[in-house]
Every structure is written in structure tokens, then in C-alpha cells.
Structure 1
Amino acid sequence: MKNIKIWGLTTSFIISALSLAAFIGIDKTPAKKATTKVDGKGFAVLELFTSEGCSSCPPADELLAKIQQESQGKDIYLLAYHVDYWNRQGWKDVFSSVDFSNRQIQYGRWFGGSQIYTPQVIVNGKAEFVGSDESALRNAISGELTTKPNATLALQAHQDGEKLVVQYQSAGALKGSSFLIAIVQKTAQSKVERGENAGRTLSHVQIVRKLQSDALNATGNGSSTIALPKGFNAQNWEVLCMVQDQTRGEILAVAKADLNTNALK
């Protein structure tokens, strides 16, 4: 295990990742975050950075699926981002995007260190763990579910052809926060033919297919429009929206868009 926390990478990719970390050049002292503990009032957003080309990632994908099964009725929200930097190892992950790699790099900046690796999971934009570390992840979830958020978010969404229009109402967010829309495919399977997972059929849940970030309206009330990925439908996909502090990376509020109603939720 390396101090820079890069698992399962080839030597050449470790060198590339180290170069990237050096390029980022960030302060290693993480910002402290104030929290208020109130039982049963919080939420937990889990953002997993994974890849079909990484042999260490399937256990993290399986853990995410396990938590999904157990999280019904709880304020737990799951997002799996497939990064693109593993594609150079012989297998192109069809779900991968440079946008997701860039989001992970941004988290590296927010956390004040060069923590760029797979599988990595971020909880509420405040803490990071190895994606397959079940004990650490469950402890983080429990802590966040008892942390009362200072901001709120309500949504109203409707599909307009190949676009989705999302209207939102938010209160309590910090000035300069962003409004994020994640278009999520609930499940998928892939037969991997090359790379470290060659010959395996991998199952995925909560696959982010598109992520869009807009400046949160200064009044807290606004509207965003996002182009929908090919194959989108209301039954097998979902839309998750977040308000995120762009200074520290903390997720301040989260909500799912109900595509079957026009009511704010």
C-alpha cells in the first residue's frame, strides 16, 4: 500500500498518477467542517469512482449493490462514476468519461492531497475511503445519517423530448454553491474481454451516465436543462440532484427527481 493511495495500478500508470498529483499542487491540510448531530435527520451520498479495467474494483461495485439493497426507505443516495484513465490498460469501459475523472481530480483538490485512485468512495463530499472498505463506509454512513443538514432542496422535473428540465428550490446553501444533475442508469452488465478483468462478467448499479454542474441561483430558486443520454427512460433510470459547496466540496443537500409527478419533492 502506497502513501499516495493508488491500488492495483501498473507501474507506468502509478508514474502518470504521481505526475498528475504533482501537477495539481495542493495544500495537504484538509479544511475542518462543522456538523450538527441530530438523530435520523441526515443523508448520505456515496460517490464511487470505479472502472471495469481495475481488478480491485469489482468488490467495491458489489458492496455498492449490497448497500443499495439495504438502503430502501433510507436517505442514502448512490452514484458510481466510471473513470476513463484505466482505458489505456487494454479495456475501454463503455460507461467511462473524462468528466468523471475530472470530478475525482477536483475532490483531490478539495481534500488537500493527491488521493487519486480506484476504487475510491466519497461520502457527502467530506470523507474518502477505499471503495471496498465496508466497515469504514458503514461507519461514515451512520455518522452522516445523524448529521442534520443546513440546506434543503426540492425538485420538479419533466422530460421535454431529448432533454430534461429541472426546477429547484433550495434554502440554506452557501454563496457560490453549485447545482448538480446526475443522470443515473440503475443497473447494467458487461462482459470484459481484455485488461485485468478479462473473461469476467461484471454487474453494476447506479451508473452515472451524465453529470452537469451549474451555478446555484443566488435566490436558491432556479431551473436547469440537461440533454438526456441515449436509452434514457423513467423506469430504468433516475435523476439525482445535489447542491455542493464549491469551496470545500461538501454536499449540502440532495434530492431525487420524481419524473411521474409535477410536484416539488
Structure 2
Amino acid sequence: MKPIKFLSLCAGPMLLAIVAGAAINHKTEPVKSADQTINGKGFALLELFTSEGCSSCPSADELLAKIQKESQGKPVYVLAYHVDYWNQLGWKDIFSNADYSKRQKEYSYTLNAQVYTPQVVINGKSEAVGSDERALRNAIAEGLAGSPSANITLQAQQNGDKLTVNYQVTSGSATDKLLLAVVQKSAVSKVKAGENDGRTLTHAQIVRGLYPVKLTPEKKGVSTIKLPQGFNTQGWEVVGFVQSKTNGEILSATKAQFSATSTAAL
């Protein structure tokens, strides 16, 4: 197992800013042209680890929101995980979840990377500073030019406070994991303490729940999950992705297609 490189949380803000600045200054390859033809049937899943308590994070939140808007109709999926380890420094992020901090830590092992914010993991295979637009756009272009190692289809129906998801996965390994992310598309927060004290922050693609699905031997079936309060099919979405249990690579990703909604609870 690779050793974890974890930045001290006690001195977190200063160290995180230093790491972010150093990473942005690293030499990168030229960004892919916006009108460049991308050959391939690939996808790009961007997992942003962020926090309302981090002064370096709003610029990353804005960039990922911009990418999400520009990528409508393309297989580009943005997930923003609000980690909880900044909560001890003066402001509790209402969207934070210890499970997301754990997920970031797991990536630190598979990618042999540091734990910091804002950090983006692309297709489970590489990571970059969340505000580094050049690095992210290059990674997206690379992902779109590739081919998925598996295929996934999702059909969902809301039944009161529950969501029923029909899934089917083809190809891949028998040990692969299917995860469903329930995503709130946008939110606004007024921060009253910490590094962003006094700022009004706009968030996009906030993960409000991440649910593993136990795949059947046939890799198809039905899963039911409890929805967060306020869920609706206009302001929220469900992103499903298949992840290798061996190396953390994302093999396929898609959005759930919603069928007619029923108001009756299960």
C-alpha cells in the first residue's frame, strides 16, 4: 500500500494555499483547443473536494460550475464533495460529510497524492488543483478521447421520499462497484465565520448522498434509496458510475433517466 501524504490540518489553511499555488505554477501541456475534434466514446467524471471553510475553494467551485454549464449534452459529469475537516476551523459547512473526506483519503492512497482542497480527481486516474483550468480541460479532453471499460444504464423513478433505480452494467469485472450520487444542482450560502467570513458563496453539483449498490451476478437489478429533503427532478440529478475496486479507476459514468413520477411513498 502506498504511503499517504496528508497535510497537517492544524496548519491547514496556510499549507493548503502553498500547495495550491505551487501546483498551479507547475508547467502543464498546452490546453486542448475548444473546437478540436475529439475522436472517441469516452467520458469525464470530475470529483471536486471542496469546503466553505477554505478560502481557495470558491474559485474552484466557480470553475467547475462553468465547466458543467459548457458541457451540457456531453458525457462530462461534475460531482462536488464538501469535506468535513475544515469544520473545526471556525465555520461548519452544512453540505459537509465525513464520508466524502474518507473518499478523498482513499484516493490519496490509490493516486499517491496529498489531501488538500480544492482538489479534483478525474476518472479516478489523476488529480489536479481544482482551480487549475488548463489541467482540468486537458484531462477532460483526454477522458473524452478514450473509451469506457464498462457500460451502464440507469432508469429512475421518484416515489415520495424514495428513488427506485433500475440499473444494468455490462463488461467490467465482477468486483467492480456501482455508486449512485444524488446531486443538488445549485445552492447559495452566506458564510459567517472562518476564512470566507462575510462572503456569499454559490455552489454547483453538490453531492448530497453517495450510495453504493451491491451488484447482482447478472449486474442488473433494482435499488431503492432514501432521498434528501427537497429533492425534485428539476433542481437535482442522479449520476451513476462504475469504479474499479482494484485501483479506483472510473470505468463508466452516466446520468439517470427519469420516468414518470409517482407521489405515492413505497
1:140 corresponds to: 139
Identity of aligned residues (%): 57
Task: Give distance in 2, aligned partners of 1:148 and 1:79.
Answer: 21
1:176 corresponds to: 175
Task: Give distance in 1, aligned partners of 2:235 and 2:200.
Answer: 20
Contact 1:84 1:96 in 2 (8 A): yes
Task: Give distance in 2, aligned partners of 1:129 and 1:42.
Answer: 20
2:107 corresponds to: 107
Contact 2:75 2:254 in 1 (8 A): no
Write the deviation string for residues 43-64 of structure 1: whole angstroms up to 9, x where unpaired.
0000000000000101100100
Aligned length, in residue pairs: 236
Contact 1:110 1:247 in 2 (8 A): no
Contact 1:156 1:167 in 2 (8 A): yes
Write the deviation string for residues 162-212 of structure 1: whole angstroms up to 9, x where unpaired.
111111111112121111010000000000000000010000000000011
With the length of structure 1 as denominator, give the TM-score of the two structures: 0.84
The letter of the residue matching 1:132 is: S
Classify the secondary structure of the residue corresponding to 1:196. Answer: helix
1:210 corresponds to: 209
Task: Give distance in 1, aligned partners of 2:167 and 2:228.
Answer: 21
1:164 corresponds to: 163
- Residues 1:139 and 1:71: Cα distance change in structure 2 (over 3 Å): same
Write the deviation string for residues 203-255 of structure 1: whole angstroms up to 9, x where unpaired.
00000000111232222212221110011111100011111111111111111
Aligned 1:52-201 pairs, distance under 5 A: 52-111=52-111, 113-201=112-200
Write the deviation string for residues 125-152 of structure 1: whole angstroms up to 9, x where unpaired.
1100111111111100000100011210
Q: Relative to structure 2, which stretch is displaced further, 102-111 or 47-56?
A: 102-111
Q: CA RMSD in A?
A: 2.1
- Residues 1:12 and 1:220: Cα distance change in structure 2 (over 3 Å): closer
Classify the secondary structure of the residue corresponding to 2:196. Answer: coil
1:14 Cα offset (Å) = 8.5
Classify the secondary structure of the residue corresponding to 1:67. Answer: helix
1:34 corresponds to: none
The letter of the residue matching 1:90 is: G
Task: Give distance in 2, aligned partners of 1:192 and 1:135.
Answer: 29
Task: Give distance in 1, aligned partners of 2:107 and 2:150.
Answer: 21
Q: Relative to structure 2, which stretch is displaced further, 207-216 or 42-51?
A: 207-216
Classify the secondary structure of the residue corresponding to 2:114. Answer: coil
2:42 corresponds to: 42
Contact 2:13 2:54 in 1 (8 A): no
With the length of structure 2 as denominator, give the TM-score of the two structures: 0.83
Contact 2:48 2:121 in 1 (8 A): yes
1:11 Cα offset (Å) = 1.5
Classify the secondary structure of the residue corresponding to 2:106. Answer: helix
Contact 1:83 1:97 in 2 (8 A): yes
Q: Relative to structure 2, which stretch is displaced further, 159-168 or 52-61?
A: 159-168
Classify the secondary structure of the residue corresponding to 1:143. Answer: helix
Classify the secondary structure of the residue corresponding to 2:136. Answer: helix
| Moved beyond 4 Å, runs of 4+ | 4-7, 12-15
Contact 1:6 1:14 in 2 (8 A): no
- Residues 1:14 and 1:98: Cα distance change in structure 2 (over 3 Å): farther
1:120 Cα offset (Å) = 0.4
Contact 1:6 1:118 in 2 (8 A): no
Task: Give distance in 2, aligned partners of 1:213 and 1:108.
Answer: 20
Classify the secondary structure of the residue corresponding to 2:39. Answer: coil
Q: Which runs of 5+ in 1 are unaligned?
A: 16-37
The letter of the residue matching 1:86 is: W
Classify the secondary structure of the residue corresponding to 1:132. Answer: coil
Classify the secondary structure of the residue corresponding to 1:142. Answer: helix
Task: Give distance in 2, aligned partners of 1:55 and 1:158.
Answer: 38
Q: Which runs of 5+ in 2 are unaligned?
A: 16-37, 262-266
